[in-house]
Chains A and B, each alone.
Chain A
Amino acid sequence: MDNQNVERDIKATLKKNWKLFKQSRLGITGLTIVIFFGFLAILQPILFLTNIWDEATYHPVVGYDAEQVARTVVECPDQYPTREYQTKEDCPKVDEVNIRYLKAFNIQVEVGDIYESNVQPAPPSSRHLLGTDSLGRDIFSQIMEGSQVAFLLGLISAIIGVGISTLLGTAAAFYGGKLDTYLMRQSDLVLMLPTLPFLFIISAFAELKVWHLAIVLGTLGGLGGSVITIKSQALQVKVKPFVDSARITGGSKRRIMFSHILPNVAPLALLYMVFSVTGAIASESVLSFLGLLNIDMSWGIMIYLSQTEGFIFTGLKYWWLIVPAGLAVTLLAGGFYLVGRGLDDVFNPRLRRR
């Protein structure tokens, strides 16, 4: 009976909060984006398990698929511009191949022939929805793998970060004095610390895997500005009469901190958690882009690869190598941010419209 009641209460609270969250258009947009990527992340292993996708072809890291494309053999002129080509980069076009290149491999063809060859990267087709990369790997599968990495990294680092900052912030507010001074100076230092250069240095000494990065990012986030915010919230709770009431009764400091203050700081901490996911996802892609992470596949790695292989400078000719990954990073990071904004409406009654 008791448990049922509690269950009912939790359901009612959730229902009310959901109702408030629903009011926020930003929050719902964000949630849709997050759910979409969450779906992608889960979909990939299901596709492999059900053998709809065969691992040899579609695996994001070791898969390979060569696509045969018929191309017209042309001879690129020495002088530009010509009637057909504006600059040197325009020749050959995507559906053309330069005869000089083929001659170098001793392939006997004439200008105007149709030459069939493997193309990597291959443009999007029904077989590979977003095409393949320069090694013949499926981009769509890589995006899915990347969203797994993003969720894993974002959530782990957010949980670690928020755990640390909630504990430290509450302790700073509760004990005050020297501990407070120390923690505040520490978070000032961490705030001043340039995070990215710091991460470069770390990656120079140690090979960073995803979960290493999650711990580092989480710790840095947890020691930084959020300690100050959580502390200010905890200070507000600390002077509430119900805390005084527990003190008068003789409640121990531990009881007051863990039973009274922490549960009342938790909603704000949750909010911070959602916001910090955004930061973690962005940091990962920057580090991967610079090639500083030892990760098999992620959105950052995808952009990194297209950059190291020179595709990034070809404009939008090989767009499927860059745009999906870039868009995914932007959307998911933005999605979490928007969910945070929506939750802000729920937890901060002052922001509510009515």
Chain B
Amino acid sequence: MNKNILEVRNLVKHFEVSKSVFSRNKKIVKAVDGISFDIKAGETLGLVGQSGCGKTTTARSLCLLDPKTSGSVNFFNPDSKNMESIDNIDEDGIRIFRRNMQMIFQDPYESLNPRWTIKDIIKEPLDIHNIGSLSEREDAIVEILRTVGLTPPENYLSRYPHEISGGQRQRVSIARTLVMKPKFVVCDEPTSMLDVSIRISIMDLMLNLAKELEVSYLYITHDLAVARYMCNRIAVMFNGKIVEIGETEELLQNPVHPYTKRLISSIPIPDPTYKRERYKVNFDELDNIISKNPNEKMVDIGGGHLVATHDTKDFLIES
């Protein structure tokens, strides 16, 4: 059994939005409203949901880009071999955390500084953390470029992002992310802006690297089909809450929560002979589970397949 590399408990992120320029009343938007999950070493967890459901906010909170409102995040410190909370560690701890956690962004055109060469872009993390001598850094850059399939590496070192294609840029992003050999990478829809024929090669690259470098991913996507290809487990998010979480195939074959069901039934199937059935929302199955476990927020229906109960029902009223 693999050890956990990240444990998130009751993560909450609220934004204050003032209603108008003149009003003093602040409205609170609950972007992430108490979510919990674990990520094991070498595992890929998919975070799936519609835009605005809070998946990107979760990612940004985990990466310390935006401070979280409440909740706890523990990570596995490879130096001390212990789980440590990111809230009560010192500067050094934060440094170790940052070295072991990276993020890949959606937009390959915006995620690389347009005025830097590929070499400088990949070298930056090494410079920041002062890893290795200058020549070791150069070697590491050439090595990682080869790993992500940009060969021969010498051809890419002194080029600028706008001189290479979208797929190649995303490879550079991955190279930059993995050059410090992090243990955990947050991927925010890294392939959604790429063309179909290139998308798979990037996803395969990420899967291979996960095995090779023993990286865990939190893979954020709106596309269940992509999540199925990439992830060991999938968490479905809605309105800032995780409504269902489970092993990929189990979740897709036996969804319980009405939202998951509806999401699955909305995915077009690349087979013209297949006729999709439209799903009509009903709460029978969920109500049945709630009546058996009236006091639990998340109910385990077997094999780590968790379903959220009461507080996710209200979505029917909205849509």
| Known contacts A249-B125, A255-B128: A264-B113 contact under CB 8 Å | yes
Within 8 A of B (CB), among A1-51: 2, 5-6, 9
- Mark each residue of chain B from 162 to 191: 1 if its CB lies under 8 Å from any CB of chain A, else 0: 000000000000001000100000000000
Query: Do B124 and A9 touch across chains, with their CB atoms under 8 A apart?
Result: no
Pick from B60, B98, B160: contact of A9, CB below 8 A: B160
A326 at the interface (CB under 8 A from B): no
CA distance A245 to B108 in the complex (A): 12
CA distance A241 to B189 in the complex (A): 13
- Mark each residue of chain A from 235 to 253: 1 if its CB lies under 8 Å from any CB of chain B, else 0: 0000011101111111110
Query: Do B128 and A242 touch across chains, with their CB atoms under 8 A apart?
Result: no
A260 at the interface (CB under 8 A from B): yes
CA distance A5 to B156 in the complex (A): 11
Number of interface residues of A (CB under 8 A): 21
A77 at the interface (CB under 8 A from B): no
Query: Do B128 and A249 touch across chains, with their CB atoms under 8 A apart?
Result: yes
Pair count A-B, CB < 8 A: 63
Query: Do A250 and B65 touch across chains, with their CB atoms under 8 A apart?
Result: no
Q: What are the residues of chain B within 8 A of A248 when measuring CB–CB?
A: 63-65, 98, 101-103
Query: Do B111 and A264 touch across chains, with their CB atoms under 8 A apart?
Result: no
Pick from A5, A249, A255: contact of B158, CB below 8 A: A5
- Mark each residue of chain A from 60 to 95: 1 if its CB lies under 8 Å from any CB of chain B, else 0: 000000000000000000000000000000000000
Q: How far is the CB of A7 from chain B (nearest CB, A)?
A: 10
- B residues neighboring A (CB under 8 Å): 60, 63-65, 94-95, 98-99, 101-103, 105-107, 110-115, 117, 121, 124-125, 128-129, 157-160, 176, 180
| Known contacts A250-B95, A251-B124, A264-B113: A245-B158 contact under CB 8 Å | no
Q: What are the residues of chain B within 8 A of A250 when measuring CB–CB?
A: 94-95, 98-99, 128-129
Q: What are the residues of chain B within 8 A of A264 when measuring CB–CB?
A: 113-115
A-B contacts, 20 of them at CB < 8 A, read A9-B158, A9-B160, A240-B111, A241-B111, A244-B60, A245-B111, A245-B176, A246-B128, A248-B63, A248-B65, A248-B102, A248-B103, A249-B124, A249-B129, A250-B98, A250-B128, A260-B113, A263-B113, A263-B115, A264-B113
Q: What are the residues of chain A within 8 A of B124 when measuring CB–CB?
A: 246, 249, 251
CA distance A246 to B98 in the complex (A): 11
Q: Give the nearest-CB partner of B162 in chain A.
A: A13
CA distance A240 to B108 in the complex (A): 11
Q: What are the residues of chain A within 8 A of B98 when measuring CB–CB?
A: 248-250
Q: What are the residues of chain B within 8 A of A259 when measuring CB–CB?
A: 113
CA distance A241 to B111 in the complex (A): 5
CA distance A246 to B112 in the complex (A): 10
CA distance A246 to B107 in the complex (A): 15
Q: How far is the CB of A42 from chain B (nearest CB, A)?
A: 33
Pick from B65, B103, B110: contact of A240, CB below 8 A: B110
CA distance A259 to B125 in the complex (A): 13
Q: How far is the CB of B293 from chain A (nearest CB, A)?
A: 39
What are the 7 tightest A-B residue pairs by CB atom distance, in nearest-first order? A241-B111, A241-B105, A250-B98, A5-B158, A263-B115, A249-B125, A242-B113
- Mark each residue of chain A from 258 to 271: 1 if its CB lies under 8 Å from any CB of chain B, else 0: 01100110000000
| Known contacts A251-B128, A263-B115: A245-B160 contact under CB 8 Å | no
Q: What are the residues of chain B within 8 A of A252 when measuring CB–CB?
A: 128
Within 8 A of B (CB), among A245-300: 245-252, 255, 259-260, 263-264
Q: Contacts A9-B160, A242-B111 known; list 13 others, CB within 8 Å.
A: A5-B158, A9-B158, A9-B159, A240-B111, A248-B65, A248-B98, A248-B103, A249-B124, A249-B125, A250-B99, A250-B128, A259-B113, A264-B113
Query: Do B99 and A244 touch across chains, with their CB atoms under 8 A apart?
Result: no
CA distance A5 to B157 in the complex (A): 10
CA distance A6 to B163 in the complex (A): 13
Q: What are the residues of chain A within 8 A of B64 when measuring CB–CB?
A: 248
Instruction: Pick the most buried of A2, A240, A245, A252: most chain B CB atoms within 10 A of its CB.
Output: A245
Q: Give the nearest-CB partner of B176 in chain A.
A: A245
| Known contacts A249-B102, A249-B128: A244-B65 contact under CB 8 Å | yes
Q: What are the residues of chain B within 8 A of A6 when measuring CB–CB?
A: 117, 158
Q: Give the nearest-CB partner of A267 in chain B.
A: B115
CA distance A264 to B103 in the complex (A): 22
Instruction: Pick the most buried of A242, A248, A249: most chain B CB atoms within 10 A of its CB.
Output: A249
Q: What are the residues of chain A within 8 A of B115 when measuring CB–CB?
A: 263-264
Q: What are the residues of chain A within 8 A of B110 when measuring CB–CB?
A: 240-242
Q: What are the residues of chain B within 8 A of A2 when measuring CB–CB?
A: 157-158
Q: What are the residues of chain B within 8 A of A5 when measuring CB–CB?
A: 158
CA distance A240 to B114 in the complex (A): 11
Q: What are the residues of chain A within 8 A of B121 when measuring CB–CB?
A: 242
Q: Give the nearest-CB partner of A250 in chain B.
A: B98
Q: How far is the CB of B91 from chain A (nearest CB, A)?
A: 10
Q: How far is the CB of A77 from chain B (nearest CB, A)?
A: 76
Q: How far is the CB of B56 from chain A (nearest CB, A)?
A: 11
CA distance A249 to B111 in the complex (A): 13
CA distance A15 to B241 in the complex (A): 52
Q: How far is the CB of A85 from chain B (nearest CB, A)?
A: 70
CA distance A241 to B121 in the complex (A): 13
CA distance A5 to B103 in the complex (A): 30
Q: What are the residues of chain A within 8 A of B94 when measuring CB–CB?
A: 250
CA distance A264 to B114 in the complex (A): 8
Q: What are the residues of chain B within 8 A of A242 when measuring CB–CB?
A: 110-113, 121
CA distance A245 to B110 in the complex (A): 11
| Known contacts A2-B158, A9-B158: A245-B128 contact under CB 8 Å | no
Instruction: Pick the most buried of A240, A242, A250: most chain B CB atoms within 10 A of its CB.
Output: A242
